[in-house]
Amino acid sequence: MDRPQGQTRIAMRELLYNEHCLIQTAAMHAALEMLPTFPENKSLTIVDYGCGQGVNAIEPMEKILSSLPNGAIASLVFEDTPWNDWPTLVETIYNKMHTISQPGRNIQLFLNLVPVGFYDHVVPKKAADVGLCWSSLNYLKVQPNLNLDPSAPPSEFIAARRKAFATAAHQDLIEFLKFRASEIREGGTFVAAVGGQKPDSNTRPTNTGMAPLQAAMLKLVRMGRLTATELAQFALFPSHERTPEELQNALAIPEVADLWEVETVEPKLIVHPAWETYQKTLNMSGQNDVKQKEALKNYAQASLQNLVSSSGWFWLEVLKKSRGSHWIGGQDLLEELTRVAVQEWVENFENMKVEIWYTYLRLKRKGANA
């Protein structure tokens, strides 16, 4: 086993991610139709790579299990980094156990929780029939080093970051797919929803809703609540949002193409469900200014809480490094950041629609008998 300590430290905010991950749930829902079925299998192993706190792991597993014949045995593997909120995952699984176990169908279940990180072996060779990966492939194995002139303009920083992170992401994906190819048996399937950027052929970009948050961060720097150095570290968040073309390039590399048959590479634009709620509320509130403002605030809050619960754990790591591990102001600072960002959104980003391009992958493990 590789030492995960050498890898990027990443996790979602304890307890909060499950509650606020609405767009990730929408992204997973858009993949349900791509899942394989197993009406002949007496036994089956499904692995969720990057399961997080589990709220989006259960439904796809349930759907696959529902295709099994009565009396089958199924092994469910939940994998994430050692820093994941494992207690919340356990509680999520426990609360859903009555439906996962397919009542009345006599499916025997075995659960495995694997805290190793997916740039490593997660299950033994050829042990898995299906690998799933929801909103998790954008995180990089190691944070690339960016040696930048601090006086360089922001556009140079953005370009240098994108180049270094794209190169790392390309290597990571090749490594990830090689690991999965050793674990998923010949003929087995890997399905992923990969959050990223628009396809070359489309003009509408991904909008994660980061702009008001960035404005709020700058405000906190001006207020002396964050330092410019901490802010620069936040910007090195170890994630690369790939285009479908970048994914296709990695899949075409011979060492990957020898292992995987590409069944689907499909971009889909996923809209934040809070946007739909906001539009409905606007329609119902007529000319009522107070109701409209309230609806906008709720939309901004839902979108920002999603971002902060996904990225806040990493930001707190940066702050603890900068302020010392005993620093205890993290929760307050994230709450303040969210409050200021909501205000920014309401004042300056009123009509901003949060929507993210996802690329959906369905790959089949090649092999003699596949």
- Interface with ligand SAM (CB under 6 A): 10-12, 21, 24, 28, 50-52, 56, 80-81, 84, 117-119, 134-136, 139, 310
Rounded to 5, what percent of the chain is helix, strand, coil?
Answer: 45, 20, 35
* Cβ(269)–Cβ(280) below 8 Å: no
CB of 54 to ligand SAM, least distance (A): 8
CB of 71 to ligand SAM, least distance (A): 30
Residue closest to ligand SAM, measured at CB:
52
| DSSP classification of residue 267 | E
* Cβ(77)–Cβ(47) below 8 Å: yes
Instruction: Pull the structure tokens for residue 310.
Output: 């996904």
What is the C-alpha separation between 193 and 290, in angstroms, rounded?
38
DSSP string, 84-145: S-HHHHHHHHHHHHHHHT-TTS--EEEEEEE-S-SSS--S-TT-EEEEEEES-TTB-SSPPP
Q: Which residues pair with 195 in a beta bridge?
A: 358
CB of 77 to ligand SAM, least distance (A): 12
CB of 23 to ligand SAM, least distance (A): 9
Closer to ligand SAM by Cβ: residue 114 or 295: 114
CB of 142 to ligand SAM, least distance (A): 10
Q: How many alpha carbons fall within 13 Å on the CB side of residue 95? A: 12
Closer to ligand SAM by Cβ: residue 179 or 349: 179
Closer to ligand SAM by Cβ: residue 21 or 65: 21
